[in-house]
Amino acid sequence: MKRTLVKADKIRFKSEFDQIRRNGTKLVGSRMLAVYAPAPDGKLRCGVVCGKKYSLLAVKRNRARRLCWESFRLLKDRLEVCHLLLIPRRRMEEAKRPEVTRELAGLLAKAGLLPAVVADTPPEC
């Protein structure tokens, strides 16, 4: 199965980000913070927030965003329908992609959004 990330998978509007933060449940990991909320539109969607508080260098912020998006892309076909917000933390700077994917899978499994079997061996790790 081809796992792609399309425009419809992304949360883009400030009002949607605010709604997730207001109604969502927070999951705290060492490399990222994940907030999930029920999907009012019935679609699995994700957004990534990485501001200047993470790093003043755009290169580092963009890398953190790419790692989050790639981890979501690998796990999205096994996730339950919800709206997900990912916020990278500074410890993600030295992390590799498999480590980030494992952490995201663990957080989502702890919330019951991902089967525990997938969390133990995430795809392409």
Task: Annotate the chain with three-state secondary structure.
Answer: CCCCCCHHHECCCHHHHHHHHHHCEEEECCCEEEEEECCCCCCCEEEECCCCCCCCCHHHHHHHHHHHHHHHHHHHHHCCCCEEEEEECHHHHHCCHHHHHHHHHHHHHHHCCCCHHHHHCCCCC
* The pLDDT value given to residue 1: 52
* The pLDDT value given to residue 111: 93
- Per-residue pLDDT reduced to its tens digit, 85-110: 999 999 999 999 999 999 999 999 99
* This prediction's pTM: 0.92
Dihedral sign for Cα 112, 75, 17, 83, please: negative
* The pLDDT value given to residue 2: 65
Question: Which residues of the chain, if any, have pLDDT below 70?
Answer: 1-2, 125
